[in-house]
A and B are shown apart, each in its own frame.
Chain A
Amino acid sequence: MTRSRRWPSRRLQIAIIVALAAGAAVRVFLPPLTPQERAEELYMDSWFGGRWHVSLDTGPEDKTAAVNRLEAALKLSPGNTLYEQALVWHTPREKLPALLKKRGLGPEARRLAAGLVYEHHAQAKRTIPAPPDTEEVRPEEPTDRGPTDDLERLDALAKADPTNALVHYRKAVVLKDMQRPDDAYAEMKAAGNLRTIRFHFPALSKAVHDSLGSPLFTPFPEMARLRSLTRSLVAAANERLRQGNVVEACETLEECCQMGVNLASSEPPQTIAVLVGRAVFLMAWAELEPVYKDFGMKEELAVFKQADGAFEAVVASCRSRIANESDSWLRLIRTILPPTSIAFAVGLSAGLMMLSTLWWIPAGIARRRRRESALTVPPWSEGWLSRRLLAVYIPPAVIIACLLSIRPSSLASELRFAMLVAGPLAAGLLALAQLVMLCFIFRALHHRYDDHTGERTGILRFLFKAPAAAKAWTRKYVIAGLGAQMMFFVCCFLLLTIAYKPIVGGHPWQMNRFRVAYLSTEQAFVKQITADLAIPDFAGTSIPNNDTREPANH
């Protein structure tokens, strides 16, 4: 076989690899230029990172709807409200007013923008922005606004968006700081009546996830705020109780307990929400339980004791789940996966390219110069090794590609977990394939050595007592074989990197599919254990008449 007949030629191979690497580098390292593409990219990452606007785990009964919503989220058309929310979420907060003016966003996106703008100003400058669809929404210079001004602005915000519970929570915080517990309680009740804390919940879950060391979320002070608010309301209830107003005290405390239950039962269900909800519940329950017992309110006591017991069981389950060894392992994977996968991808690409350059190209040049050598036959030029290599490597590569492309929402919960386990199994298969390839190479070398010497030698003799020339051939063939494997792996990897987004969506190196698979199993788990947390609304409480005794003071 002459060198000119070989196909693909080395130049072509190098050109293909360089082109693939360049494409991957452009795909990965150069961010999209337009804001829309940037928003899409960030939205995809954030969606998989936990800031979901679509719940994946909706149960079997409405799986079709969930899949449809998932599809809608993935399409990201400009008219899509999810897309608009993503755009709002990822636009710098100070540019949100400009975005609202420039684009005709839907009501949900406007509501989200209002909350975010308020968050931004409340945290950074302690001023309260006006509704986003008015002129006053643009960022303002820091001023010495008092709580009264804050209240006025919050009133305007509540008027513009009466369904936003977040505004009521904010008002309650401001009123609490103004030492007006009654009004704070009324605002809390108004927020509770909206029966939604969706705008509050993502921030909370992020904060607590962050406090637990998860890399999925960023710091946020919402949890501390809600706890502070609960503490304040419990203190207000305690004050009312000391004044003899048992009804109002109970209502406040029940509302706080309900808030904890709401948090724990929020969608999407997460362990962290259970823990935060438990903390909020306990704060109020510690005050409420003695009142129920002292005033003989057995019915209410039984209901809330059931919730307390359910919470206890839930927390115990969470604790055992966290302590479980395999789950610890999964959490470890989840923790190290994103940085490791990126470092692995960069390191592998660079390292393999360098190895190829160092081992493969100089070896080829040397062979070309010493073409008189009878034993320097590149393994890939004869066809046998190429065929075996393809036979060994294509199945695991296909398995991995399938695993990466399957959408977890289309699978049952058990399968999602199985998918997570299948990843390491595929890696194990690849390692096994490496060993098999080495066996093939040694077998071929053995035969070639026998052909060269004209007599049959045992494999052990060949391996351990081979002459120096045979060792040199072995080394050369092993290097060449490994080089061929690595090149194949690099090609698969680069192809996958380029083709991932058009086929699957999302960022390939973050392996979001696996994270989603894990989080989905967690959701199913929490949903199952929070099923008992339902507390019925009391139509009215049978609390005895208020005490009329004179207070005894200092």
Chain B
Amino acid sequence: MLEDSKGKELDVLSGSGIPDLSDVVWSPTEENFAFAADVADDKDDGRGLYAYSIKERKRRLIVSGSTLAPEWSADGRFLICLKTSTPASEKLRDAVRRNHGTIIVLHAHSGFKPVLTAGKLAGYPTPSPTGTKIAFMELLQDEYGDFDNHSLQVTDIATGRIQKLLTNRREPLYIWAGDNTVAATTYDKYAVPTLSLVSLPDGTERQLVTARDFAGLEPLAYLSEQTRIIYKAAERLSDIEAEELWAVEAGRQPLRLFPQAGRGRS
């Protein structure tokens, strides 16, 4: 059921009419929202990404096929999603094939026309704060022929130019730190995590933290006013009890947040 801010009913989308509804994301301008569904009465096979216009009170299929992770740019101009139609391959695990695909960028103000496609085995597309670039992870073949090399890449929506930032055997974690910098955690061959800042124009990498005591350093947020990265340091893999919150800025020692709090409560 759709309601406006005053609680007035706008429309009802029945669950039976839109089976397998998932990934509902609102546009920042609140004019549209997108969702993935499998609508049998549409053309093609019905499975795809739909956009619902609040003004027109109707939905439309904007990307047919199986899609993942729809996300709006901050200004609401672009809708970004992954289209997963990767064929089966011996070198690709089934789970990888299901969660990776081609990034499609749709322009919301021109009838959701595709303006950019990028990557073949891409995942985790993340628009930059101003919505002009998209960072994503592309799987590349390693020296053994497996698609196990994780390459962090950035594409410019206007020009379509793709820039490789870094490549790692283990999957890096990243966030945008401003519009021209990405904060990413990589691992060496001893699985020691390193949190770095990667500048976009020239791809230079600046290490912030290397921590052998921690199994993971997950960047969570960027505070633009203080130019600080907030990250989560996990002492053990998948152990919530052993997680701590830290903050770091370039050229300074990392600072543990809430040091008085007990473990697991930070």
Contact = CB atoms under 8 A, between A and B. Distances in A.
Interface stretch (A231-239, A455-463, A484-492): A231-239
Interface centre among B90, B144, B253, by most A CB within 10 Å? B144
Given A242-B190, A294-B169, A554 B213 contact: yes
Interface stretch (B7-15, B43-51, B133-141, B232-240): B232-240
Interface stretch (B56-64, B113-121, B204-212): B204-212
B192 interface: yes
B223 interface: no
B212 A238 contact: no
A489 to B, nearest CB: 42
Contacts of A388: none
B148 A293 contact: yes
A242 B211 CA distance: 9
A295 B209 CA distance: 24
Interface in A266-311: 287, 289-291, 293-295, 301, 308-309
Given A294-B169, A295-B189, A242 B212 contact: yes
Interface stretch (A136-144, A344-352, A545-553): A545-553
A551 B144 contact: no
Given A551-B212, A551-B213, A239 B189 contact: no
B254 to A, nearest CB: 6
A23 interface: no
Contacts of B210: 552
Contact of A244 (B90, B190, B238): B190
Contacts of A291: 189, 191
Nearest to A316: B94
A242 B215 contact: yes
Given A293-B148, A547-B190, A243 B212 contact: yes
B31 interface: no
- Chain B contact residues (Cβ within 8 angstroms of A): what range? 20 to 34
Contacts of B238: 231, 235
A235 B236 contact: yes
A479 interface: no
B189 A552 contact: no
Interface in B214-234: 214-215, 233
B75 interface: no
A17 interface: no
Contacts of B189: 290-291, 294-295
A536 B239 CA distance: 32
A291 B148 CA distance: 12
A197 interface: no
Contact of A312 (B93, B148, B237, B254): B93
A496 interface: no
15 contacts: A235-B236, A235-B238, A238-B237, A242-B190, A242-B191, A242-B213, A243-B212, A291-B189, A294-B189, A547-B190, A551-B192, A552-B210, A552-B212, A554-B214, A554-B254
Given A316-B94, A551-B212, 7 more contacts: A243-B212, A246-B190, A294-B189, A308-B93, A312-B94, A551-B192, A552-B210
Interface of B: 90, 93-94, 142-144, 148, 169-170, 189-192, 209-215, 233, 236-239, 246, 253-254
